[in-house]
Structures are given as C-alpha cells and as structure tokens.
C-alpha cells in the first residue's frame, strides 16, 4: 500500500508555520452579500486566534450575543485567515473604528441571511514552506500537476486529532461508553505532554489524585479542571464526561469519524481515481451520491473529476456502499467493535453520518521560490485540508505539517 498518491516523485522536505504569516487561508464565498437586510456580513482577517475566540471578541465589541452570529467555516488558529461572519443588528459604521488585537475588518456589507456552516465554495491557501531540499520548485510543480489530474487524497489529517493526536481515541471511547478511558485520554499521557504544569497534572491523575491534578492544571484548561473536580467529589466518570460542553464532545466524536474515514482513504490510495462496482459515487457539482452499478460506464466521468468514489463518515443514517467497498467499510467498523447503531447516542450527540469524497479537485495552483523558501498557492473545495496537498509535496513526518506555532492557548 503506497504512502502517497505521488509515490513516484520525491518530496521537497521542509516545514511550515514558523509564523502565522507563513500560512494564509482565504474563504471563497458561495455568494456576495446583497447590500441590505438585518445581518452585517463581515470579512475578517485574524491572526493567532480560533474562529470562536475571534467571534467572542467581536460579540463583546459590538454588544451582540455570540450565539446569534454566523460563520461559514472554522479556521486554524496557527495561521492568518480571512473569513466571513454575520452579525445580527449591526451596521457598517459600528465596525469602522474597531481596534481588536489579532483582528482586522476587511469589509462590512448588509445581508438578509445569517451565515451557516458550509456556506462557502472553498478556500484559497498561500503557504510558505521553509528549509526545503534542492529542486523544490520543480518537485512541487510536478506534484501539483499530477494532483490536478488525479485529484487530492481527501484526508482530514493531523490537525483533526488535537494537540496530543488523540481526539479520535476520546471519540471512540465515548461511542463504546468507556468513560474512564475517555477521561484518561482527555487528561492525556504525561509522556506526550510538553507543558510542565499539564504534565504534572496528568501524572497526579495517573497516580489517582484528581483533586491535586485539578489544582496543578494550567489556567487555560477550564473543561479539564471541571471534569477533575467532579471526579474528586466522588462522582461517576460518566457524569464527569457528560458535563463537558456538548460542542467539545461532538468534536471528539467527529474526530473519530474522521479517523475511520482517513483509514479508508489510505486503503484506497492506489485507486482513488478508479470506481469500483458497489461504490457510492460522489458528484462534485452538488454533493449527491449514487450507487455505481456499472463501473466501466461511469469511469469516464471519474476521469474528468466530475465524480469520485466516496468513503464513510460513519453514522446511524449513513448510506452504505456495496460489494468490495461495502465489505471494506463493514470490516473497519467491526474491527473497532462498533456498529452504525453505536452512533445513535442521544443527549444531542447522535451522529447521523454521511458520505465524503475520497479525493477532491485542486485549482489555482502556483509555485514560486524566493529568499524565504517555497511559496505555494492553491484552492480546494470546502471541507478539504491543505495538509493533504502538503503531505504529497513535502513527504515529511506528520509533525512537520503542524508547524511550530502553538496549537492551544494554555496559560
């Protein structure tokens, strides 16, 4: 099984994200703001902030409720990002004099509707890769040419699995109702933690003292602190876990879905552009899927990147593939000792599931070099990750794709 779709080509090596300026992400909107209505559509540039932290700061400054604001996509804190958000009841004049650290308003236009997750066409990336090997520009250009013809492996990748790379393990434990196991993963393995206070807390928890562990945690880890306090009072692990914010629990569950999907992509890597009988083919123009009965008849459409094989984001309502692909997916789930019904969790945590293309088209590709290294530009559809392109170009360990800018705000 190949490690890369472009295994026949060398990598450039290097690393990314020494600074936020090394990684620029720009949302490509589905539609422009119409110029009238009760919502203010803001194009915002942020640096070193998560989308939610940016929205919290703007909500305070504009005196609106954060839950009433809208966004199209979540953007990395380890980057400079330009994205759109909607603010109810605000006016362009209110944003003219805003001075918020890490935030710059690029445009403000009235619009009729609240922005919803997924309401974007895609993202354009401009990425600096430093300390590359020889012939980096030529290698990157050749890789991007192949990806433009065959599509990009649609991995979620390392950024989906959290600072310790174990968010999916927490999600898997939740699905199996293994709450003590989930807590061990949430607090973390001391051997994998670099922050001294967090590492001390993890060691104290491992030694059976949740109260002392809570006291040792860095101040920024409020959710973990609350969890340990509940355990210190003698409450059950299930209660402690389920008091965590539902948004965080859903993030863990989503990470597990992503992990299983990435395993399917890896298993199909040598045939991402080839339809199998029984595949559920994904239509790139509208996101619909259909069962492939005659692979030879449909293959020309796959060759034109109109359709692609799809993989599972497992859930209790997910459409299942047939034939060989169906057996692959069923075997993967069985290996985890799970069924689709395990994803019907209740408490607002149930995961209906969906299909996701195993590859995606890439466009607007450009490569150049300067004194600071290799500069890459390209656009991907919404829901796809630049790390999938970078892993093919750089062919370096996964840690090099996360960069050196801190991934979590721990005081």
pLDDT digits (tens, 9 = 90+) for 379-400: 999 999 999 999 999 998 776 6
Q: Is the pLDDT of residue 26 over 60?
A: yes
Q: Please, what is the end-to-end C-alpha distance for the chain in angstroms? A: 43
Rg (CA), the chain: 22
Please list, in sequence order, all residues whose beta carbon lies within 8 angstroms of the beta carbon of residue 350, skipping any fewer than 6 positions away: 315, 316, 343, 344
Residues carrying an active site annotation: 76
pLDDT in tens, 206-244: 999 999 999 999 988 999 999 999 999 999 999 999 999
Handedness of CA 186, 192, 197, 201 (dihedral sign): positive
pLDDT over 80 at 411, yes or no = no
If you search the block for the tokens 């300026």, which residue do you land on?
A: 21
The answer to whether residue 407 scores a pLDDT higher than 70 is no
The first and second tokens of residue 223, run together, are 């959710």
Q: What is the mean pLDDT of residues 156-173?
A: 91
Structure confidence at residue 370 (pLDDT)? 87
pLDDT tier for residue 275 given thresholds of 50, 70 and 90: very high
What pairs with residue 125 in β-bridges? 25, 378
Tokens found for residue 290 = 């259909």
Whether residue 204 is predicted with pLDDT greater than 50 in this model: the reply is yes
Given a cut of 80, is residue 304 above it in pLDDT? yes
- Burial group, residue 285, by CB count within 10 angstroms (0-12, 13-18, 19+): exposed
Residues of the chain above pLDDT 70, percent: 96
pTM for the full model? 0.88
pLDDT at 347: 85
- How many Cα atoms are found within 13 Å in the side-chain-facing hemisphere of 246? 7
Q: What is the pLDDT of residue 18?
A: 75
- 80-88 and 359-360 beta bridge pairing: unpaired
Statement: residue 75 has pLDDT above 90:
no
Q: Are 319 and 340 in contact (CB under 8 A)?
A: no
């Amino acid at each position: 099984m190949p490690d890369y779709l472009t295994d026949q080509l060398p990598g450039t090596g290097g690393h990314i994200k020494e600074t936020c300026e090394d990684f620029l992400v720009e949302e490509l909107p589905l539609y422009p703001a119409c110029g009238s209505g009760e919502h203010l559509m803001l194009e915002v540039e942020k640096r070193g902030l998560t989308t939610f932290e940016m929205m919290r700061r703007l909500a305070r400054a504009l005196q609106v409720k954060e839950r009433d604001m809208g966004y199209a996509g979540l953007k990395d804190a380890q980057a400079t990002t330009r994205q759109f958000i909607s603010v109810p009841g605000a006016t362009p004049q209110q944003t003219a004099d805003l001075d918020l650290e890490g935030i710059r308003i690029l445009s403000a236009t009235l619009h009729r509707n609240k922005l919803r997750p997924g309401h974007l066409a895609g993202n354009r990336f401009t990425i600096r890769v430093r300390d590359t090997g020889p012939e980096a520009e030529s290698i990157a250009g050749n890789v991007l040419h192949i990806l433009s013809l065959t599509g990009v492996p649609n991995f979620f990748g390392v950024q989906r699995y959290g600072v310790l790379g174990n968010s999916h393990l927490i999600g898997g434990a939740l699905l199996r109702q293994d709450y003590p196991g989930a807590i061990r993963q949430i607090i973390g393995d001391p051997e994998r933690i670099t922050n001294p206070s967090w590492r001390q807390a993890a060691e104290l928890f491992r030694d059976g003292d949740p109260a002392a562990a809570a006291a040792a945690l860095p101040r920024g880890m409020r959710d973990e602190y609350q969890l340990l306090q509940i355990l210190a009072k003698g409450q059950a692990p299930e209660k402690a876990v389920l008091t965590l914010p539902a948004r965080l629990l859903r993030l863990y569950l989503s990470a597990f879905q992503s992990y299983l999907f990435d395993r399917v992509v890896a298993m199909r890597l040598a045939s991402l552009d080839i339809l199998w009988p029984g595949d559920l083919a994904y239509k790139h123009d509208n996101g619909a899927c259909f069962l492939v009965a005659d692979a030879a008849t449909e293959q020309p459409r796959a060759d034109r990147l109109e359709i692609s094989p799809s993989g599972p984001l497992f859930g209790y309502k997910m459409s299942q593939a047939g034939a060989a692909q169906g057996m692959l997916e069923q075997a993967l789930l069985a290996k985890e000792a799970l069924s689709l019904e395990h994803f019907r969790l209740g408490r607002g945590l149930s995961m209906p599931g969906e299909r996701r293309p195993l590859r995606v088209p890439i466009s607007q590709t450009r490569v150049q070099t300067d004194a600071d290294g290799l500069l890459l530009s390209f656009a991907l559809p919404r829901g796809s990750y630049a790390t999938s392109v970078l892993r093919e170009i750089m062919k370096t360990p996964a840690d090099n794709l996360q960069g050196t800018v801190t991934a979590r705000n721990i005081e």
